[in-house]
Structure 1
Amino acid sequence: MPGVSSTVHQPPQLARANGIDICYEIFGDGNAEPMFLIMGLGAQMVIWDDAFCQKLAARGFRVIRFDNRDIGQSSKMHGGKRLTPFELLKLRLFKIPVEAPYKLSDMAQDTIALMDTLGIRSAHLVGASMGGMIAQEIAITFPERVRSLTSIMSTTGDPRLPGPTREAAALLMAPPPKTKEEYIERFAKTWKMLRVGSFPEDEALDRARAERTFLRGLNPAGVGRQLRAILASGSRKQRLHGVKAPTLVIHGTVDPLVNPAGGRDTAASIPNAKLMMIEGMGHALPLRMWPDIIDAIDKHAHGAAAKAA
């Protein structure tokens, strides 16, 4: 829409894409460079904070965030039992794959289908954690749809890489909270652990963020299926060698969930990828680190657009 301000924020809508309903939201000018933000395991689209999206929109992007399948207000899937420690042991020791109702490739198809529904031929992709894995999968399989790739706190899936810390792994396997207050308490505890260190300005927002995600709807079984999708999808390392999209890899030096080696391996596996290691960043995007992260995404995406012009 010509002349629309970059501060415009369209309310959440549902799109029918890849046979499911995907809840999405748009920030910014309709004529700006499209940028899809893809969130991680069990994380609703609102974990891409409103203000974070608005700051990117103000840099000249049409920012689209969305709930992945099985989370938030997108379609809930079916099947797949709760992951057991025994399955993880079989995967690690004997390379016996985990069974899953869907894989990351299906979630990549969801993103492409949402792009089709919105009439977007190609876009900048910014993925965090599992979202980075999905964005990598898109760059591998649908290269013509990717203007640039930014993979944040993610990995290639190479099984030889170091795993999460014991505390972070226990978090993934913990049974879901039963009440709203228990959920809010778990949310705060989880993000405090993932952020690693003292971030009082974020801790002050945790309760409001938790209440927002709770009100949008929880789906613990869906989180389990997403985890299965990651484990069933295997390594992308060899296939990443063929990625043509200009790539930026951002990773924290103290990430407890996806070891920093995952970010280094991603950058090493993609031709000409740039690596940005952020000192003291864990598995989160704390407010005080936004300026550096947003500047890096902005410079990378606009740089890629200028080269393509």
Structure 2
Amino acid sequence: MPYCDVGTLPSSPVADSQLNNDIKIFYRTYGGGPTKVLLIIGLAATHDAWGPQIKALTGTTVPNDDDDVVWNGEEGNGGIHVCAFDNRGVGRSSVPVEKSEYSTKIMAKDTIALLDHLGWKKAHIFGHSMGAMIANKVAAMFPDRVLSLALLNVTGGGFQCFPKLDRQTFSVAYRFVKAKTPEQRAAVDLDTHYSQEYLEEYVGTDKRRAILYQQYVKGISATGMQSNYGFDGQLNACWTHKMTDDEIEVIKSAGFLVSIIHGRHDIIAQIYYAKRLAQRLYPVARMVDLHGGHLVSHERPEEVNQALFDLIKASEVNMNPHDWTNLPKKQSWWKEKRVLIITNNQAGRNDSLKCHVLEKLHIFLLYFFGLLMLAFEYGRKLLRRLKPVRVGGSTLYTESQ
């Protein structure tokens, strides 16, 4: 099986003390040719989640390391060579125990170490969800290694990772934390990844939900449930992720194009934050708003794949960013506010003030909810360390050793 020993390459710019030399990254390659594409998957998922994109880009989902696969193409035939991998903490890659060993910056260094291992000087970097956060860090830290950047269902990290505050998402979050079996995990994953409309559609005589449920149970049973160490670590990477203004400027001035692809019904990564990131990256970014959920790459694969091909083609012809972007010209903060206030006053509305108040209230509620979750997790871990000891007619708790 193909593995990359992270940080052990002496020529790698990321071979430093921040990377654990015992950590191995599992990867697979597909197809072949001069165009290199590196796929970075999101939280709790393995490289297999890129199936529809791998198939579209290379024509196959059978990895090159399969004994029955022989690549007959020539390096100059215009083909696409794809690599997808399991992030640290999931799948067949190593699972560090400490949360401090997980951050989007560290995982970006894992990505560059893998590029070095493959011998790829540059690649189109495509990331989904947490993988898109990692891709952002790769682009900011090592812009000379990036040909183009595709960010699917991305947010800015931190409180932006919190889902919408409604009954459905609270239920999904609770079920996700409590899921202990492949069946439980598969059921909650469907509601997390797809829009309800998509799940309730009929495919023949069965609803898509029932068909996907069987596929998810099979897939999770094959790879195994993600360990608590891996999930907590990757969640920590999402929570601590942030793109500074300086990092955004590095990406904007690096010379490559960006495509931000998002499902407008995503309950995990809200499209509002993706649009805000796209505007920060003006004029090099294009916003692709699709009818779908968090796993829009599966729900709307044709549209997503076309957006990826468009990005590759535009990069190859060195398209001008102003011809690439579909975003309105970015204005100064004060000018945007002034135009918005004047427009609202002319219409006799106070929408601007309402939106501002609601956004601040939303942030406060997310922060409060986060504190409650931390307190709950602390209490749960504390109770696990205690065991009941009966003394006389009463029950006391003592710390277990």
Normalized against structure 2, the TM-score is what?
0.62
User: Does residue 205 of structure 1 match 2:208?
Assistant: no
Contact kept, 8 Å, 1:34 with 1:61, in 2: the verdict is yes
Post-superposition offset of 1:103: 1.2
Structure 1 equivalent of residue 332 of structure 2:
none
The structure-2 alpha-carbon separation of the partners of 1:215 and 1:294, relative to structure 1 and needing over 3 Å to count, comes to: same
User: Does residue 229 of structure 1 match 2:206?
Assistant: no
Structure 1 equivalent of residue 109 of structure 2:
109
2-structure distance, mates of 1:286, 1:109: 25
Contact kept, 8 Å, 1:241 with 1:271, in 2: the verdict is no
Q: What is the SS of the residue equivalent to 1:156?
A: coil
1-structure distance, mates of 2:179, 2:162: 25
Contact kept, 8 Å, 2:127 with 2:135, in 1: the verdict is yes
Range with bigger deviation, 120-129 or 245-254: 245-254
Q: What is the SS of the residue equivalent to 1:42?
A: coil
Contact kept, 8 Å, 2:158 with 2:238, in 1: the verdict is no
Contact kept, 8 Å, 1:28 with 1:54, in 2: the verdict is no
- Aligned 1:225-304 pairs, distance under 5 A: 225-236=233-244, 238-243=246-251, 244=254, 245-272=256-283, 273-278=285-290, 280-285=291-296, 287=298, 289-304=300-315
- Aligned 1:97-246 pairs, distance under 5 A: 100-157=100-157, 159=159, 163-166=162-165, 167-168=168-169, 171-172=172-173, 174-179=176-181, 183-199=182-198, 200=201, 203=209, 204-221=211-228, 222-236=230-244, 238-243=246-251, 244=254, 245-246=256-257
Structure 1 equivalent of residue 91 of structure 2:
72
Contact kept, 8 Å, 1:35 with 1:125, in 2: the verdict is yes
2-structure distance, mates of 1:291, 1:13: 30
The structure-2 alpha-carbon separation of the partners of 1:205 and 1:254, relative to structure 1 and needing over 3 Å to count, comes to: closer
Give the aligned length.
Answer: 271
Q: What is the SS of the residue equivalent to 1:36?
A: strand
Post-superposition offset of 1:158: 6.9
Larger radius of gyration: 2
One-letter code aligned to 1:32:
P
2-structure distance, mates of 1:247, 1:302: 12
What residue ranges of structure 1 are gaps of 5+ in the alignment?
A: 1-11, 81-99
Contact kept, 8 Å, 1:72 with 1:213, in 2: the verdict is no
2-structure distance, mates of 1:188, 1:232: 28
One-letter code aligned to 2:137:
E
Superposed CA RMSD in Å reads 2.3
Q: What is the SS of the residue equivalent to 2:296?
A: coil
Q: Which has the higher contact order (CA 8 A, sep 6+)?
A: 1
Structure 2 equivalent of residue 89 of structure 1:
none
1-structure distance, mates of 2:240, 2:80: 34
User: Percent of aligned pairs with the same residue?
Assistant: 25
Normalized against structure 1, the TM-score is what?
0.80
1-structure distance, mates of 2:280, 2:170: 25
